[in-house]
Amino acid sequence: MRTTRLTALLGLAAVAALGLTACNSGSPTPGGAAGGSEGTDESSVWFETASDVSLEGSPTFDRITERGGVIVGVKEDQPGLGFLDVTTNERTGFDIDIARWIAASLGYGEEDITFQPIASANREQAIVNGDIDYYVGTYSITDKRKEQIDFAGPYFITGQGLLVASDSDIASEADLGPDTNVCSATGSTPIQNIKANFPGVPTTEFDVYSACVEALLNGQVDAVTTDQAILIGYAALYPDELKVVGEPFSEERYGVGLEKGDTVLLEHINEMFTDGGDIWQAIFDKNLGASGITVEQPAVDAAS
């Protein structure tokens, strides 16, 4: 079955592109820093867990302290960003390491982190309900979402693009029309953009982007749309079958989703991003450097 093939190739691609994942959580340093495990290559990023952390006035941190661990909402089907290898049970990706970095800054190592996959449509509710402490997973900062939650960051900026079959006549969003079915994740910013700006274009929605890629490979849809950083990872799995076309036609600013009103935690994470430029770059190089994407760390938005 093609679904099995996709899952297997995602796992192989993640291992090939990212190498061995970091084993500890905290402030990372590039290369062979102390504390590394045997067999890890020189590009690994290591995390040192902070100690004696106090965030007075943060209800999220209070829950984490009482629980004795961190629950992080993530994606797990995005190679290079947020990916779970079902064979090895290893999580890898830029967003995953950002989540680990935050946890370590709060005093919690890898063994204290519970990664909780949350579909795009359910992210705000999971934060509002307190099911997770924060969310790191290609989560675009929007005014509508900020009505329910807060965002730290942005920590990454990309743009919406299109993934199509290699023999497709679609060259950009200008070619979308009533005969081109576009697929994206339910509740995601990209599918909302298509509906708002291309009202005559039929859409298909799934909980996860990998299901859209599967539909594209099977000829059930004509294009998959989401952020180019995500699409490039999928195109790399099928270089003879899929391609990314056109230029980004939106700006997506990824933030860390937090409980609304938890200003203390928001400011803590923003300060961590501001002071941790070398750490951010090491995480980027480890996970996305090989993709050829050139991205600078954005300045955080104090009003996010």
Tens digits of residue pLDDT in 44-63? 456 789 999 999 999 999 99
Structure confidence at residue 16 (pLDDT):
35
Distance, C-alpha 27 to centroid of its chain:
19
Structure confidence at residue 287 (pLDDT):
85
Structure confidence at residue 291 (pLDDT):
65
What is the spatial distance between Cα 131 and Cα 108, in angstroms, rounded to a whole number?
Answer: 18
Q: What is the pLDDT of residues 200-241, one digit of tens each?
A: 999 999 998 999 999 999 999 999 999 988 898 788 778 899
Structure confidence at residue 80 (pLDDT):
85
Q: Which residues of the chain have pLDDT under 50?
A: 1-44, 304
Structure confidence at residue 58 (pLDDT):
98
What is the spatial distance between Cα 77 and Cα 118, in angstroms, rounded to a whole number?
Answer: 11
Q: Which of 47, 43, 39 is nearest to 31 (CA)?
A: 43
What is the spatial distance between Cα 30 and Cα 32, in angstroms, rounded to a whole number?
Answer: 7
- Alpha helices by DSSP H, listed for the chain, are 2-18, 59-67, 94-105, 123-129, 189-197, 209-217, 228-237, 263-275, 277-288
Structure confidence at residue 104 (pLDDT):
96
Give the three-state DSSP class for 254. Answer: strand
Structure confidence at residue 141 (pLDDT):
95
* C-alpha dihedral sign at 120, 121, 124, 126: negative
